[in-house]
Amino acid sequence: MHHSDLISPEFIFLNVSASTDMEAISILADYLFDKKVVNVSFKQAVLQREETSPTGLQTKSAGIAIPHTDIEHVNRNIIAIGVLKEPVYFCSMEDPQRKIETNLVFMLALKDPHGHLNVLKELMMVFQDEEALSHLTSSSTPEELYRYLRNRS
């Protein structure tokens, strides 16, 4: 399972308006539920997991969050990407006391129990690439962002 196979323009959202980390998670989770990608328990499970195991990640040039939860809440494999209009604060996965100003949210909805680690490894490669992060935050349409990620892999 390659991360670029899990991404589609339908699940890429630009200029998402959220005032908190929980609101950003809720917006993406609600959309995934509306599209039947996840079941009704998904949003609450992701919110609870974020409180106990935060997913904020500081890279050289951007703050990123990778919220996800257990496979039983997922119907099919998708990565939803939210580019926030204004950054919100997510707690750091490395130090939960530290807040990371975040403007990119990659929500993983994965059914494969081993898929998370593989997809996270691939995404880390993207996140360490300054040029890639610049493209992610400056794309003007979901299709443009999608094409960039597809062509990059």
| pLDDT of the residue at 153 | 63
- Whether the CB-CB separation of 67 and 50 falls below 8 Å is answered with yes
Q: Which residue is it, tokens 């962002």?
A: 145
Span 92-111, mean pLDDT?
A: 95
pTM tops 0.85, yes or no: yes
The domain tally of the chain equals 1
Percent of the chain with pLDDT over 90: 73
Q: Which of 67, 71, 62 is nearest to 52 (CA)?
A: 67
In the chain, the DSSP E strands lie at 12-16, 56-58, 63-65, 78-91, 99-109
Does 24 have pLDDT greater than 70? yes
Most confident of 5-9, 52-56, 147-151: 52-56
Amino acid, single-letter form, for residue 102: T
Backbone torsions φ then ψ of 21, nearest 5 degrees? -60, -40
Residue 78, classed as helix, strand or coil, is strand
- SS3 of residue 120 by DSSP: helix
Cβ-based burial of 111 (10 A; exposed 0-12, middle 13-18, buried ≥19): middle
User: What CATH number does residue 56 fall under?
Assistant: 3.40.930.10
The CA distance from 132 to 65, in Å, is: 16
Q: What is the mean pLDDT of the chain?
A: 92
pLDDT tens digit sequence for 48-75: 999 999 999 999 889 999 999 999 999 9
Helix (H) or strand (E) holding 143: helix 142-152
What is the domain extent for residue 126? 3-152
